[in-house]
Structure 1
């Protein structure tokens, strides 16, 4: 017997589409088992839920909305982090340039200030 690997979750739209295809006769249960590597018991469970009306588009939409909300929250956290980093960079003092008209390079930072005299021996 082969191992299927880690625990998998299937989306509600996938379950709904598979159940609709099986009930419409587009695909058989065994073909669905083989092509998607899903156990017969799991397919039977989904078909039972489908027949009871527990697999609906509303549930699928709710799961998609939950995924979007989680993604939005992650992006908002990232924006907050980047905003704080940008504020910190803006508040960091910069060394003055020699002529005052030179602009510091964004990539390498401000240009070095030349020393007042040569090296003494």
Structure 2
């Protein structure tokens, strides 16, 4: 037996569309099971909810709005974190160069030996 891993969550618009397709005959239950890797019991539960009117567009819209609000909250947290990092970077003093206004170079060492006129044949 293989383990499925964590529980999957399906959005209300997905459930609504699947139930509509099954009820109109555009999709059979077995085809839905195979194509979406769903159990027969889960599809039956969704169809029961659909027939009772528990799956509707208002609930679908509320689900989408809740997903958007969660995404907005995550982005706001990220903006706050980046703002704090930027403020910290601005407050951290930079390393000053050796002479203040002089340019500093990474490569240092003795000057190259002068050439005596080039290669001779």
Partner of 2:69: 69
Q: Cα offset for 1:76?
A: 0.8
Distance in 1, Cα, partners of 2:45 & 2:2 = 21
Moved more, 34-43 or 16-25: 34-43
Distance in 1, Cα, partners of 2:51 & 2:65 = 24
Partner of 1:85: 85
Partner of 2:43: 43
Alignment gaps of 5+ in structure 1: 103-110, 113-121
Partner of 1:8: 8
Q: Cα offset for 1:3?
A: 3.7
After superposition, the Cα gap between the structure-2 partners of 1:92 and 1:27, relative to the gap in structure 1 and judged at 3 Å, is same
Q: Cα offset for 1:24?
A: 0.6
Higher Cα radius of gyration: 2
Helix, strand or coil at the partner of 1:55: coil
Task: Name which structure has the greater RCO, CA cutoff 8 Å, separation 6+.
Answer: 2
Helix, strand or coil at the partner of 2:58: helix
Moved more, 89-98 or 75-84: 89-98
TM-score (norm 2): 0.75
Two-structure CA RMSD over aligned residues (Å) = 2.1
Distance in 1, Cα, partners of 2:19 & 2:3 = 21
Distance in 1, Cα, partners of 2:30 & 2:53 = 23
